[in-house]
Structure 1
Amino acid sequence: MIEEILITNGKKMIQTYQSTSSADLIPFMQNVSGISGTLLQLYNKDSKPLLEEKKGLLHVDRSNIERVLAGNIVRNIDMGEHHVSHNAHISHFPIVGVPFQVEGKPYALFLTVEKNPVEDEIMNSVHVMYIIILFFGSLLILIAARYIVNPILRLTEATKRMAKGTFDFELHTKRKDEIGLLTVSFNEMAKELSKLERMRQDFVSNVSHEIQSPLTSISGFTKALKQKKMSEESRLRYLTIIEEESERLSRLSQNLLQLSYLQQEHHPLKVNTYRLDEQLRRVVISLEPQWREKEIQIDVQLEAITIQADEDQLNQVWINLLSNSIKFTPAHGKILIEAVMKENQTIVSITDNGIGIPEEERADIFKPFHKVDKARNSSVKGNGLGLSIVKKIIDIHNGDIQVSGSPGEGSTFKVILPR
């Protein structure tokens, strides 16, 4: 401990002095004070200091001086209660007192450690460095907080806008971290929601159009039938149109109900095992009036295939696809129907030589009410829901449907079902 070292040093100083017979006490102690970082103060029997004050020489309470003069060694005198000078050089080290006698006179020698100026400079530098580190650390924390918080605030604001129905915006970011990925995902979500919103608006518009058109025809021809002067031929023609438009409304209603049913999250499948090639032949036969009326040649090339699937739903798929081909194939055209097994997959292809589908339209033809014929030619019957129903049924069966072909050269619908 420091106290013991100081006491040992004090005793050695006293022994050194006593072994030097020609040395004077006060000059000797004065010269020794400050050597090796030790500060001294010497008191006589009257408790008066005998050494000059320099570098903040220590001062000790009279009670401690008297204890040492009485022959006691005093350890660890508290320096924080005005027992010493207020000089900072000695304000952190203990004081010890050692008694000795010279020519029968009692003296009290007090020692403490002088603080090294180099250590002061080092400590001051360390303190300054701590302050600098604290300042820059706080600054970096603020910058990092802003770097993290600002994008989150932007995302929060964008979420509020999205909650109000605004989706046509994009948050720009160059970040590659998790927040950057979150921003990119948020932008993708906004785009998808924007598409859904446009689809919803288009859906409402298309439903309104598909319903309003036959209703207008029915209303108009019904008013015409009220006229008394009308030939039997005109009356029958008007009634036929009303009947066709009523059937059109009925088909639209049925398709909407079926599409809504298929879009249920937990749609049940009534799976059974049956021959797919026989099902396709029955569909061709059931649609014979349509393709025979246009004198279309049907080429059927079917392998004997047994599958497990929902027979009623797939029957709807083949009816819709073949009806579409017949609808858009010109008179005296040709339709090829193929069914093969490849690598544990059942592949059914329906190819026609009709008007074809432009490449830019292929991604949208499975959307509800989408029609390649933008003018909605009334000569081509349909409400744009057939392919949407087909796509949904294929998805439910974990299959895929692909479209190929060129405008004016026909098109091919390929249905791929897992075995």
Structure 2
Amino acid sequence: MRNTLIHNGKKALEIYQATKSEDLRAFMKAYSGTSGTRLQLYNQAGDELLLDEDLKVRKAYVDTVLNGNTTDNFKGFITHVPFVGIPFEENGEKYAIFLSIENNKFEEQLMSAIVLMYIVVLFVGSLFIIIAARYVVNPLVKLTEATKKMSKGNFNVVLPMKRKDEIGTLSSSFNAMAKELGNLDQMRREFVSNVSHEIQSPLTSITGFSKALKQKKLSEESRIRYLGIIEQESARLSRLARNLLHLSHLQHEQLQLNLSIFRLDEQLRNLTIGLEPQWSEKQIAINIELPPITIEADEDQIKQVWTNLMTNSIKFTPAYGKISIKAEVNDNLISITITDTGPGIPEEERREIFKPFYKVDKSRDSSVKGNGLGLSIVKQIVDLHQGDISVNEGPNGGAEFHVTLPIKQEQKTRLD
């Protein structure tokens, strides 16, 4: 651009000299605007000869040119009108001619429109960024507040789930987690309450009858009866402690099963024979249909499953009732079904009976002793073996417990 302006300036001077115009000022004024070039002219005294408000030159530039030097302001042309100053003499008098590019009105309007567009885009973009930030930040603020409440033990927090994006998914997951933690906290409270109740009841009996034994006028018959009650309550406490330890051990994440290969049908037959004093006392009929079944499992733990289920069936089956034990193998599953003719379990409570300390008092004989941990232990053992347990109504009423245990392919290969 600098060279172009210098070339245009020299060309203007050549034309002026060729035309031999007598009025330099009039010529330069007429020439200004041609070839896309604007002119400004200063005489030796530094006076401005052309009235062009858009092309004002500082005195320092004018003095430099009048001293015979060519100059320009291109270094700062971004914030100034770019120009080039050229010295020349006419009739022994020095002049300074400054040349700049002629303003293009269309380009000026276009540039103004572009600048305005940039301003509008910047404003609208900033507005959208603020709105988007609030759209993203507000749910995170609510999530932070909710986590603070949860840290203080308040699990009754619910985040809105109307959004379908990742924030909505996060809110949904948080609500599910809060609900699950709430359920766990409730289960913990109920567990502590149940343990306290189960311990307090026999302790109260033991304390009361121990004080009664201190009476000097107590008959021998009463003394023996009181001692028998203390013995029963002590055994009850012992069973409770043993079951709690067993349940805690089964729930431990690092528990390793002691796997071995054994005959499941023989285990069930031996167990039934071992429980004969209990079921024969009530004259309960036992029906067994057990084909030969070999399984790889933790023998002691699996035996505990059948012991708890059979003991329950014997407890709640009335005199002269029936208990049946059936087993079958289908594909990769072993199915064991234990059915009794007791009072059964209401359908709405069948999902609850595997929880610790849960008792179906309405449908079962309340005189039967128990702490409600037996079926919880059964459930834990079956789960550890990746099996499943369910309860339904038996064909002739009563309860029917159905246990399925998987046979893995590598296990099946070893058994074969």
* Aligned position for 2:304: 316
Deviating more after overlay: 141-150 vs 276-285? 141-150
Distance in structure 2 (CA, Å) of the matches to 1:184 and 1:232: 68
Distance in structure 2 (CA, Å) of the matches to 1:182 and 1:207: 37
1:43/1:154 CA distance change after superposition, 3 Å: closer
Distance in structure 2 (CA, Å) of the matches to 1:252 and 1:48: 114
Whether the 8 Å contact between 2:262 and 2:294 is mirrored in structure 1 is yes
Residues 192-235 of structure 1: per-residue CA shift (max 9 Å, x gap): 22222221221122122222222333344445555566665555
3-state SS of the aligned residue for 2:52?
coil
* Equivalence map 1:81-160=2 (5 Å): 91-97=80-86, 99=88, 108-160=96-148
Distance in structure 1 (CA, Å) of the matches to 2:201 and 2:366: 10
- Is 1:63 aligned with 2:64? yes
- Is 1:403 aligned with 2:403? no
Deviating more after overlay: 260-269 vs 385-394? 260-269
What is the TM-score with the length of structure 2 in the denominator? 0.85
Distance in structure 1 (CA, Å) of the matches to 2:266 and 2:161: 57
Deviating more after overlay: 389-398 vs 135-144? 135-144
Deviating more after overlay: 103-112 vs 143-152? 103-112
Distance in structure 2 (CA, Å) of the matches to 1:107 and 1:159: 81
- Is 1:381 aligned with 2:369? yes
Whether the 8 Å contact between 2:247 and 2:376 is mirrored in structure 1 is yes
What is the TM-score with the length of structure 1 in the denominator? 0.85
* Aligned position for 1:10: 9
3-state SS of the aligned residue for 2:355?
coil
Whether the 8 Å contact between 2:340 and 2:394 is mirrored in structure 1 is no
Task: Give me the CA root mean square deviation.
Answer: 3.1
Deviating more after overlay: 296-305 vs 383-392? 296-305
Unaligned runs of 5+ in 1: 69-73, 82-87
Distance in structure 2 (CA, Å) of the matches to 1:255 and 1:315: 15
3-state SS of the aligned residue for 2:68?
helix
* Aligned position for 1:71: none
Q: Aligned residues: percent identity?
A: 56
* Aligned position for 2:270: 282
3-state SS of the aligned residue for 1:167?
coil
Distance in structure 2 (CA, Å) of the matches to 1:277 and 1:32: 119
* Equivalence map 1:343-362=2 (5 Å): 343-362=331-350
* Aligned position for 2:410: none
* Aligned position for 2:314: 326
Whether the 8 Å contact between 1:6 and 1:96 is mirrored in structure 2 is no
* Aligned position for 1:84: none
The alpha carbon displacement at 1:186 in A equals 2.0
Which letter maps to 1:76?
A: D
* Equivalence map 1:32-51=2 (5 Å): 32-43=31-42, 46=44, 51=49
Distance in structure 2 (CA, Å) of the matches to 1:149 and 1:43: 63
- Is 1:269 aligned with 2:270? no
* Aligned position for 1:201: 189
1:224/1:41 CA distance change after superposition, 3 Å: closer
The alpha carbon displacement at 1:176 in A equals 2.6
Distance in structure 1 (CA, Å) of the matches to 2:385 and 2:198: 29
